[in-house]
Amino acid sequence: MIQIVKLPTVLEKFCISRSLAFLHLSKGLLPPSISLGERSKGFILSELDAVLSARVAGQSNDQIKALVKSLVEKRKGDFQ
């Protein structure tokens, strides 16, 4: 089952500010949101958990960028 969370949950989960979250998104350090409708977006919880686990494991930003890229590619394959 896929669980979707909104931005406030992401901020709480990663203990970051809104501006830092958007900076991480722009740098590829967080997986991008998905459209839930015309004016709503959400994040796939399992992808966020994978990135958080990588952070806890001490992976570098380059490693996390590669992880995010692979998660997005997997998302495309899984849901097409």
pLDDT tens digits along 38-59 = 999 999 999 999 999 999 999 9
pLDDT beyond 90 at 16:
yes
**What band does 76 get if pLDDT is binned at 50, 70 and 90?**
confident
Domain containing 16 equals 4-78
Residue pair 64/73 in contact (Cβ under 8 Å)? The answer is no
Cβ neighbours around 6 below 10 Å, total: 13
User: Rounded to an integer, what distance in angstroms lies between the CA atom of residue 39 and that of residue 25?
Assistant: 19
User: Rounded to an integer, what distance in angstroms lies between the CA atom of residue 3 and that of residue 21?
Assistant: 19
Total domains, the chain: 1
Read off the pTM.
0.91
Q: What is the CA radius of gyration of the chain?
A: 12
